């Protein structure tokens, strides 16, 4: 039998439908899904339908597009407990409603949690991939992440194919072979989630200006998610910066824009020169078309992209990420607000640490100085201390630059009173007096920190 007919016989023998495939799940099992667009769709729906038959099935996902059906199927019967390593907006709603839980981790350690013997059990992994190629491989498309480590830990593997996933060339960890798979389900090829570019506000533009003036030719860029990093990408596209490189966890539309305007060549990178390195992609159809089979882009496991030594291996790494709040000690909270869990630590810690340790590298945390709550009340995002429940994403020892529309400050090497002074200088003017009073009560204010000196710094 020749190679291709052997592969196709194996494929046919494993082909089934979603309802049959999920019969493999038993009460008490741990089930892992995919990450981002590689979360299963039909298999999630089929598993949720077994709500009356199953007890105590624990599901783990990474950033489910929309809302996972298993999370809401349960209605308190103890059939499913839904957990997630990083919340999407749907996961956030599930958590708000008591239908989901967060799993704390730093993103670079995702693979090792599954690789360390006995840390995590995976009875069944069900994930979405591209259809099988001529060699028997299923590609993880835009969700490489730590899928390979999960699959290697899984007792049973079910693949749900979708032909709208781009073929993402690796790298490492970007595919699985038919010989490793137990069941294949062909889906209805519903288009994967696309994300429009977030709108750029005037405040975002001001913040982006402070950051872009710190970037030099040949720098290696990591942009986080949200409007602010998108504004930075937009401004870089219009600049005359040259030979920028990309080593990031998330590939988004702003990289495509910077590539098209000739800002990105990747030629000055010392690690993976000539290639844009990423572990997942989230953006428009244009972005997915760009990465599809593109040898200039390399999809790697997050154990590689977010490895601290790999991040700092390139020179002049610039990492730009968003935050929810920063306190006067310089701690950064990027994943929750009080007891409301919003997203996750993700790779923020990895890139803030790795960028600072790259030769000439800089790490930026950016946020608007205020936010208007759902109750209409305007709050300062520079806080004396965080509310109970707010999670520290970056300890104060790791934070380098903090940027608002009122300026940028570098906290490295600064004592507590200098940090308070620096951070209040970039807070919204309406909140500065109150922050100074709080800093006095917190014993992080000395007599030479006076209001006029704050105004001078601003």
Q: Give dist(CA 264, CA 286) in Å, integer.
A: 17
Token pair belonging to 284: 């428009």
Q: Is 321 in the site for ligand ACO (CB under 6 A)?
A: yes
* Least distance to ligand ACO, CB of residue 303, Å: 16
Note whether 151 and 178 are within 8 A (CB).
Answer: no
Residue 325 binding result from ligand BUA, ligand ACO, none, given CB thresholds of 5 to 8 Å by partner type: ligand ACO
Footprint on residues 67-126 left by ligand ACO (CB under 6 A): 89, 92
Q: Is 303 in the site for ligand ACO (CB under 6 A)?
A: no
Kindly indicate which of the ranges 109-117, 254-262, 341-349, 403-411 contains the residues binding ligand ACO, using the contact rule CB under 6 A. 341-349
Closest CA relative to residue 448, chosen from 69, 333, 456: 456
Residue 62 binding result from ligand BUA, ligand ACO, none, given CB thresholds of 5 to 8 Å by partner type: ligand BUA
- Nearer to ligand BUA by C-beta: 139 or 348? 348
Footprint on residues 348-387 left by ligand BUA (CB under 6 A): none
Q: Is 32 in the site for ligand ACO (CB under 6 A)?
A: no
Note whether 293 and 167 are within 8 A (CB).
Answer: yes
* Least distance to ligand BUA, CB of residue 421, Å: 31
Compute the C-alpha angle 140/142/147, nearest 5°: 45
Return the exposure string of 104-120: e unless at least 16 CB atoms fall within 10 Å of the residue's CB, then b: ebbbbbbbebbbeeeee
Q: Is 341 in the site for ligand ACO (CB under 6 A)?
A: no
Expressed in angstroms, the distance from the first to the final Cα of the chain is 75
Q: Where are the beta strands (DSSP E) in 54-148?
A: 57-62, 80-84, 101-102, 122-129, 137-139
Q: Is 334 in the site for ligand ACO (CB under 6 A)?
A: yes
Among 229, 347, 361, 384, binds ligand BUA (CB under 6 A): 347
Q: Could you tell me which residues are annotated as the binding site for CoA?
A: 224-228, 324, 347
Compute the C-alpha angle 246/248/250, nearest 5°: 120
For 46, the 3-state DSSP assignment is helix
Note whether 345 and 105 are within 8 A (CB).
Answer: yes
> Is 434 a residue of the active site?
no
Footprint on residues 391-410 left by ligand BUA (CB under 6 A): none
Closest CA relative to residue 198, chosen from 278, 274, 252: 252
The alpha helices in 49-193, defined as continuous H runs, are 69-73, 89-96, 110-115, 147-153
Kindly indicate which of the ranges 68-76, 161-169, 287-295, 340-348 contains the residues binding ligand ACO, using the contact rule CB under 6 A. 340-348
Q: Give dist(CA 69, CA 392) in Å, integer.
A: 30
Looking at 53, 109, 205, 249, which residue is catalytic? 249
Kindly indicate which of the ranges 1-9, 140-148, 342-350, 407-415 contains the residues binding ligand ACO, using the contact rule CB under 6 A. 342-350
Among 34, 143, 330, 346, binds ligand BUA (CB under 6 A): 346
Q: Is 381 in the site for ligand ACO (CB under 6 A)?
A: yes
Q: Judged by CB under 6 A, how many residues of this single chain contact ligand ACO?
A: 23
Burial degree of 225 (CB within 10 A; 0-12, 13-18, 19+): middle
**What amino acid positions are annotated as catalytic residues?**
249
Residues that bind ligand ACO (CB under 6 A): 89, 92, 224-227, 249-250, 321-325, 334-335, 337, 342-343, 346-348, 371, 381
Residues that bind ligand BUA (CB under 6 A): 62-63, 85-86, 107, 225, 249, 346-347
């Amino acid at each position: 039998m020749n190679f291709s007919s052997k592969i196709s016989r194996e494929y046919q023998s494993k082909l089934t439908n979603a309802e049959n495939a999920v019969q493999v799940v038993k009460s008490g099992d741990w089930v892992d899904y995919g990450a981002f667009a590689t979360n299963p769709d039909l298999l999630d729906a089929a598993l949720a339908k077994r709500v009356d038959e199953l007890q105590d099935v624990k599901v783990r996902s990474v950033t489910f597009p929309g809302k996972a059906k298993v999370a809401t199927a349960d209605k308190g019967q103890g059939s499913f407990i839904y957990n997630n390593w990083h919340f999407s907006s749907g996961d956030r709603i599930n958590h708000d409603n008591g239908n989901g839980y967060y799993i704390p981790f730093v993103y670079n350690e995702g693979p090792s949690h599954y690789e360390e013997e006995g840390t995590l059990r995976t009875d069944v992994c069900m994930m979405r991939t591209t259809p099988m190629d001529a060699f028997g491989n299923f590609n993880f498309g835009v969700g490489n992440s730590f899928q390979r480590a999960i699959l290697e830990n899984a007792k049973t593997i079910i693949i749900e194919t979708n032909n709208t996933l781009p073929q993402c060339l690796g790298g490492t960890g970007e595919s699985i072979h038919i010989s490793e798979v137990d069941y294949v389900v062909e889906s209805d090829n519903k288009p994967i989630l696309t994300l429009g570019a977030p709108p750029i506000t005037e405040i975002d533009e001001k913040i982006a200006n402070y950051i872009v003036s710190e970037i030099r030719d040949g720098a290696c860029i990591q942009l986080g998610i949200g409007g602010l990093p998108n504004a930075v990408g937009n401004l870089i596209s219009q600049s005359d910066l040259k030979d920028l490189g990309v080593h990031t966890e998330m590939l988004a539309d702003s990289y495509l824009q910077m590539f098209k305007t000739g800002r990105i060549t990747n030629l000055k990178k010392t690690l993976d020169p000539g290639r844009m390195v990423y572990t997942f992609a989230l953006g428009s159809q244009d972005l997915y078309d760009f990465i599809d089979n593109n040898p200039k882009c390399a999809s790697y496991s997050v154990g590689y992209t977010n490895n601290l030594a790999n991040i700092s291996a390139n020179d002049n790494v610039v990492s730009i990420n968003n935050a929810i709040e920063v306190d006067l000690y310089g701690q950064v909270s990027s994943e929750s607000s009080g007891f409301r869990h919003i997203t996750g630590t993700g790779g923020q810690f990895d890139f803030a640490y790795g960028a600072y340790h790259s030769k000439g590298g800089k790490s930026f945390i950016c946020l608007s100085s205020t936010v208007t709550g759902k109750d209409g009340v305007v709050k300062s995002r520079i806080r004396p201390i965080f509310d109970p429940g707010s999670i520290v994403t970056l300890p104060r020892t790791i934070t380098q630059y903090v940027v608002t529309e009122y300026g940028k400050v570098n906290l490295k090497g600064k004592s507590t009173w200098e940090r308070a002074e620096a951070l209040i200088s970039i807070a919204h003017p309406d909140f500065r007096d109150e922050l100074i009073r709080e800093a006095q009560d917190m014993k992080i204010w000395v007599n030479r920190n006076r209001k006029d000196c704050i105004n001078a710094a601003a």
